[in-house]
Structure 1
Amino acid sequence: MWLLLDLKGEKGFLTGRREEAFQEALVRAIRPGMRFWDVGANIGFYSVLAGRLVGPEGRVLSIEPDPENAERLCAAVERNGLRNVEVVRAALASREGTMALERRGAMSRLRESNEKTAGAEAISVAVFRLEKLAERFGAPDVVKIDVEGAEIEVLRGVGPLIRERKPVFLVEFHSEELLGEARKLFADYALDRIDQDHWRLAPENVFPGRTLC
């Protein structure tokens, strides 16, 4: 695949040896014709991979609020000739409106517009709920979420359309507290560990008895 990389911090994308267990989990979860959502798409590594996996009959919704990342993401989609990938320049949370995207180096996080952090650059970004996107694009089959600690806020945006579809979620959790919140939100889902920080949330009848580690 073609990606626009900063080799100072993104060599793992160049070699492919980045989150290998997570890559394998993604490949296992996606089938041709599926709808895949990449929440926190960054520069497009997983969006491009998923675009190939879902094939011409499938769709990828690639969601990224950071303008610089979104530009590189769009370049990757175009250079790889992926007509089945659509980019949404926005953030996801449990409510809608606008919030401040705070950038500190390569990391970013959402905060309230009136909240300030010393030494951090911030820009205003549009914020949607997962359910709102489902109303516009149709509910997804597989959702990957990696948003620097705000994953639970994204999951709180799930509503009836997505619940009825029962998608598989591939999510990064950095603490037991966040993992516990996920268990409460999706009591009817099984949680399987993929690697140290990544988990698969899937309905109990999906891949019964199978774990990824």
Structure 2
Amino acid sequence: MWRRHWLCILLCQGFSSARDDWRPESEGERSGRKACELRFFQTDFAAENFQSKWLNQKNKLAFIQCLYHLRTRWRHREKEIFAGGIHYPTLVTAHHTWPPVSTSGAKLCWLDQLGVHRNSIEPSDCCDQRYGPKGRPDCWDEYFTYELCCVGDVNLAEMPHYFVAPAFDINVGNAVRQLGTFDLGQSYALQTLCRSGDVVIDVGANVGGFTVPLAERVGPEGEVHAFEPFRKVFQHLNANVALNGLSNVYTYNVALGTAEEKVLAYVPDLTNFNFPSAIRVLDQFGPEAAVSEANLRYEERQETLTVRRLDDFSFSRRVQLIKIDVEFMELQVVLGAKSTILQNKPLIWMENEAYFDDPPNRTFVDTMHRDLRYVCTAVARLELFCAPGKEAPNGGLVQDDGLIPAGFRRVFRHLSGEVKDMHLWRALSEVDPDFAAK
């Protein structure tokens, strides 16, 4: 995970941190936001031994309404960056809405003000074009529109996102601050590979650049299991899960390999400009070689890391998708996950630099083919997509195109120039035409 891949760079052309085509903000929106922010500042539920006026029904309802409005029609239009940190500097990104991270903005159309339970609005009625090309006009306001709620177009109404990362992380931390994820194209592609209610595994989760959007994609009924071995990076992963209010993420401060063991390893130095995501767990460079050969910086003190097999973990139901980015440990991860893979037959996306050497090192691809009956294909520089193969007429093993959703293909058709209007909502609508109303 060295950099934002070319897959992202192409998709991200033209994106900026702010929108200049949003409907102008009204004075009512500005004053409403300020009033709600003042309410949050002044509210002290603990006053008078938790018996104050703040806990009466009227104020509790106003508090909930403010939470709802500040996430929707009164959300901040401009992203803000705050510097913090005591033992090392951190940057907190607030109000990220562009480019869209997920389709959560569309999901809120059909939820109550708590954002948890269904409201009384019936999607099929509001979206019914018998009332007109944009459904029932009385269903919509300046935020909740036909385009957002029925089509799922979050480009003008994304939910605000929040992220914290080490200030000196010039790779993943930088990308998450700019894009709300590590690699925008990969994030969108991964979201097309799963649906609401699915179980997803994120191996090498880092600060959660893919964990967050995947957790939103699979929804409260789904699960994301995120593995990150380095303690301080793991703390940022948990912070970002909490900052975005995600209830379906399970995090593990372990590396995945072929056996359970303890490893004494160098860990990322977060007080210098660095690439924490490129630091290996096994077969590490020595401190001097790390700087001279890989531009990596370690803390002086080593830490004991835990390595376990994925097969040692249990999951509530079938695993749909596994994403692996583990700095040259992908073969060990797979070998320690044979039972999980054979039982669940998940789609697998992983970084495998060796395959892109000249000549290519096919060890990983051939192992997947021979031991697990998977077919792997290159989908971007350094990235492979692997899926269970099917028997060809000649007795060989070929890719089963039926396992690959149309929206996944759209992402890559965009890269070739065939598709010009690459948007997350459009890709996901090809996977599930009714996704916005579910």
Same fold (TM over 0.5): yes
Which of 164, 170, 182 aligns to 1:4? It is 164
Contact 1:100 1:111 in 2 (8 A): no
* Superposed displacement of residue 62, structure 1: 0.8
Contact 1:146 1:171 in 2 (8 A): yes
Match of 1:125 in 2: 305
Matched, 1:192 2:377: yes
Which letter maps to 1:108?
Answer: I
Which structure shows the bigger proportion of residues in helix conformation?
Answer: 2
Contact 2:193 2:405 in 1 (8 A): no
Match of 2:153 in 1: none
Consecutive unaligned residues of structure 2, counting only runs of 5 or more, are 1-160, 269-273, 289-297, 390-399, 413-438
Which letter maps to 1:130?
Answer: L
User: Structure 1 length as normaliser, TM-score?
Assistant: 0.87
Which structure shows the bigger proportion of residues in strand conformation?
Answer: 1
Matched, 1:183 2:365: yes
- Percent identity between matched residues is 24
Using the alignment, how far apart are the partners of 1:102 and 1:20 within structure 2? 30
Using the alignment, how far apart are the partners of 2:366 and 2:198 within structure 1? 27
Which letter maps to 1:123?
Answer: E
Q: How does 1:1-213 map to 2 (within 5 A)?
A: 1-8=161-168, 9=170, 10-16=173-179, 18-104=182-268, 105=274, 106=276, 107-111=278-282, 117-119=286-288, 120-121=298-299, 122-133=302-313, 135=314, 140-176=319-355, 180-187=362-369, 188-204=373-389, 205=400, 206-207=403-404, 213=412
Which letter maps to 1:145?
Answer: I
Deviation track 1:163-189 (CA, whole Å, cap 9, x = no partner) reads 121011110011227861222222122
* Superposed displacement of residue 97, structure 1: 1.4
Contact 1:151 1:173 in 2 (8 A): yes
Deviation track 1:50-78 (CA, whole Å, cap 9, x = no partner) reads 11011011001111111111111111111
Which letter maps to 1:5?
Answer: A
Which letter maps to 2:267?
Answer: R
SS of the equivalent of 1:111 reads coil
Using the alignment, how far apart are the partners of 1:110 and 1:31 within structure 2? 32
Q: Which moved more, 1:201-210 or 1:56-65?
A: 201-210
Contact 1:139 1:161 in 2 (8 A): no
SS of the equivalent of 2:326 reads coil
* Superposed displacement of residue 19, structure 1: 2.4
Higher relative contact order structure (alpha carbons within 8 Å, sequence separation ≥ 6): 1
Using the alignment, how far apart are the partners of 1:47 and 1:55 within structure 2? 12
Deviation track 1:81-137 (CA, whole Å, cap 9, x = no partner) reads 11100110111111111113333542321237xx9834554311111111112x366
SS of the equivalent of 1:25 reads helix
User: Structure 2 length as normaliser, TM-score?
Assistant: 0.44
* Superposed displacement of residue 23, structure 1: 1.6
After TM superposition, the runs of 4+ consecutive aligned structure 1 residues lying more than 3 A away are 118-121, 135-139, 208-213
Task: Give the total of aligned pairs.
Answer: 210
Which of the two has higher C-alpha Rg?
2
Contact 1:48 1:77 in 2 (8 A): yes
Q: Which moved more, 1:2-11 or 1:142-151?
A: 2-11
SS of the equivalent of 1:12 reads helix
* Superposed displacement of residue 26, structure 1: 0.4
SS of the equivalent of 1:70 reads helix
Measured on the aligned residues, the alpha-carbon RMSD in Å equals 2.6
Which letter maps to 2:174?
Answer: K
